[in-house]
Amino acid sequence: MYKGFRSESFTAWAFMAPGLLFLAVFTFWPIIYGIPLSLTDYSVITETNYVGLDNFTRAFQDHNFLISLWNSLVYVLIVPVIQIISILMAILVNSRIPGVKMFRAAYYIPVVTSMVAVALIWSWLLGNNGVVNYLLLKAGIISEQVSWLSTSSTALYVLMFITMWKGLGYYMMLYLAGLQGIPADLYEAARVDGAGPLRLIVHVTLPLLRPHILFCTLISVMGAIRVFDEVYILTKGGPGTSTLTSSVYIFQKGLEQFNFGYASALGLIVSVMVGALSVLVFRLNRKGGVNSY
């Protein structure tokens, strides 16, 4: 028996070895190696020195880094908006009417297309003489053209809108799966007790979606803090520092200016922040739970 167990163990590790090797090099190693790297001034140009915690003290005096942290936190504000809209969308596409599957697919198309294409389309739509300004002017909502992406006060919110627009379909699908798992007789019972549509949502749908809400909140918080592509393509953090998010700043320091040591320190600070935020989300949803897949 013992021998059988041991050989099964050996086979298991043999099966997992290639995958774990790749994970070790490309998933675990970056987390581990980031720590010693953050204690050096490693860059391609000069000799590498151990600098202790200098990078970290420098980070907290780095005005741009603090702004980028703030912008990343502002970005997290899209999380509740995404959850609310995508739950409503899911309820809508859960209706049993002909053609509804076509609409589900249509809402999902922004999710499958590349951010490069999405960013390009929106940068045109949002241009000074673009379609958005034209429509808003016609409707009388704004009185003059707005340069949405090159005005400091609007740029970050416009990027948040694009991120939301691209992601809605993804969360809608996750919630739809949750909705389809809710037994119909629960609704029947509540209806017999005289509950209206709104009460059905608040007292039946939302409590039963709780694990899904936790999961979606968690991944969208992480997504919001790590947001990179749309910001990098559309504004590169500008105008000024108004859309400088932490990932963009780390990328600039690391892969554009080759300050690997400093960038690693910044990355570690952000990772700790994300870890703390996810613990917070878990706490807020203590009753819910993710059944680790």
Residues 260-279, interacting with another protein (CB under 8 A)? 260, 263-264, 266-268, 270-271, 274-275, 278
Binding residues with another protein: total (CB under 8 A): 101
Q: Is 222 in the site for another protein (CB under 8 A)?
A: yes
Among the residue ranges 19-27, 58-66, 184-192, 199-207, the one whose residues contact another protein (CB under 8 A) = 19-27
Single out the residue of 49, 53, 142, 181 in contact with another protein (rule: CB under 8 A): 181
- For residue 17, the minimal CB distance to another protein (Å) is 8
Helix, strand, coil percentages, rounded to 5, for the chain: 75, 0, 25
CA dihedral 225, 30, 230, 279 (to 10 degrees): -20
Sign of CA dihedral 38, 41, 47, 52: negative
Q: Is 61 in the site for another protein (CB under 8 A)?
A: no
Binders in 115-174 for another protein, by CB under 8 A: 115-118, 120-122, 124-125, 127-131, 134, 165, 168-170, 173-174
Give the nearer residue to another protein in terms of CB position, either 167 or 242. 167
Give the nearer residue to another protein in terms of CB position, either 156 or 253. 253
Number of CB atoms found within 10 A of residue 256's CB: 11
- For residue 284, the minimal CB distance to another protein (Å) is 15
CB-based contacts of 21-28 (< 8 A; 24+ apart in sequence): none
Q: Is 37 in the site for another protein (CB under 8 A)?
A: yes
Structure tokens at 274: 């994300």
Give the amino acid at 276. Answer: A
Give the nearer residue to another protein in terms of CB position, either 155 or 162. 162
Q: Which residues pair with 259 in a beta bridge?
A: 43
Left if phi > 0, otherwise alpha if psi is -120 to 50, otherwise beta: which for 198? alpha
Structure tokens at 126: 């949002």
Burial annotation 15-46 (CB, 10 A radius, 16+ → b, else e): eeeeeeeeeeeeeeeeeeebeebbbbbbbeee
Give the nearer residue to another protein in terms of CB position, either 178 or 237. 178
Binders in 65-94 for another protein, by CB under 8 A: 89, 92-93
- For residue 189, the minimal CB distance to another protein (Å) is 19
Among the residue ranges 52-60, 150-158, 187-195, 259-267, the one whose residues contact another protein (CB under 8 A) = 259-267
Q: 177 near 90, Cβ under 8 Å? A: no
Single out the residue of 71, 146, 251, 252 in contact with another protein (rule: CB under 8 A): 251
Q: 212 near 178, Cβ under 8 Å? A: yes
Question: 124 phi and psi, to 5 degrees?
Answer: -70, -45
Query: What angle do helix axes 210-226 and 78-93 make, rounded to 10 degrees?
Result: 130
Q: Is 60 in the site for another protein (CB under 8 A)?
A: no
Single out the residue of 69, 159, 209, 224 in contact with another protein (rule: CB under 8 A): 209
Q: Which residue has the tokens 């020195």?
A: 49
Give the nearer residue to another protein in terms of CB position, either 23 or 202. 23
Q: Which residue has the tokens 């959850």?
A: 83
- For residue 100, the minimal CB distance to another protein (Å) is 7
- For residue 156, the minimal CB distance to another protein (Å) is 19
Among the residue ranges 63-71, 74-82, 175-183, 187-195, the one whose residues contact another protein (CB under 8 A) = 175-183
